[in-house]
Structure 1
Amino acid sequence: MPVIMMPDGISLRYAVHGDGSTIVFVLGYGMTLDEWPSRLVSHLARSHRVILYNHRGVSGERNPAIEFTIPQAARDLHEIITQLSGGEREREEREEEEKEDDGKQERPVHLVGYSMGGMIALEYAILYPDSVDRLVLLNADCGGVLRVPAEEWVTEEMAKELSTPEAFLERAGRILLTESYRCEHPDPLTWFVDYGEVADPHAVKEQFDAMALWEGVCPELHTIRSKTLIITGDQDIVIPPENAKILAAAIPDATLHILKGQAHGMIFCEPMRIAGMIEEFIE
Structure 2
Amino acid sequence: MTQFKLPENEYLKVGSTEFAYKKLGTEEGIPLVFIIHFRGTMENWDPLMLENIAKERPVILFDNVGVGYTNGETPSTIDTMAEDTYQFINGLGYQQVDILGFSIGGMVAQSLAIHHPDLVRKLILSGTGPAGGIGPSHPKMEEMMYKAEGSEEDAIETFLFLFYPETEKGRELGKQSLNRIFSQKTKDSTLQVRDAQLAAIAQWTNEKFDQAKIQLHNIENPTLVINGDNDIMVPTENSFMLSQNIPDAQLIIYPNAGHGHLFQHPVRFASHVNTFLNE
Question: Normalized against structure 2, the TM-score is what?
Answer: 0.85
Confirm or deny: 8 A CA contact 2:231 2:259 kept in the other structure: yes
Confirm or deny: 8 A CA contact 1:135 1:228 kept in the other structure: yes
- Decide which moves more: 225-234 or 162-171: 162-171
Deviations 1:197-237 (A, max 9, x none): 13322212221221112255443100001000000110111
Equivalent position of 1:59 in the other structure:
68
Equivalent position of 2:96 in the other structure:
108
Number of aligned residue pairs: 259
Deviations 1:117-142 (A, max 9, x none): 00000000000011111100000101
- Decide which moves more: 157-166 or 251-260: 157-166
Q: Which runs of 5+ in 1 are unaligned?
A: 87-106
Distance 1:167 1:182 in 2: 20
Distance 1:125 1:17 in 2: 23
SS of the residue 1:229 aligns to: strand
Deviations 1:33-71 (A, max 9, x none): 01111122122222211000012111376545x734211
Q: Which amino acid aligns with 2:141?
A: V
Q: Which amino acid aligns with 2:86?
A: H
Which one of 74, 83, 100 corresponds to residue 91 of structure 2?
A: 83
Equivalent position of 2:6 in the other structure:
none
How far 1:182 moved relative to its partner? 6.0
Distance 1:69 1:6 in 2: 20
SS of the residue 1:130 aligns to: coil
Max Rg structure: 1
- Decide which moves more: 172-181 or 154-163: 154-163
Question: Normalized against structure 1, the TM-score is what?
Answer: 0.84
Q: Which runs of 5+ in 2 are unaligned?
A: 1-8
For 1:103-252, what aligned pairs fall within 5 Å after superposition? Answer: 107-144=95-132, 147-151=133-137, 152-159=139-146, 162-181=149-168, 185=172, 188=175, 191-194=178-181, 195-202=184-191, 203-214=193-204, 217-252=212-247
The RMSD of aligned alpha carbons is: 2.2
SS of the residue 1:282 aligns to: helix
How far 1:83 moved relative to its partner? 2.0
21 and 259 in structure 1: CA distance in 2 versus 1, 3 angstrom threshold: same
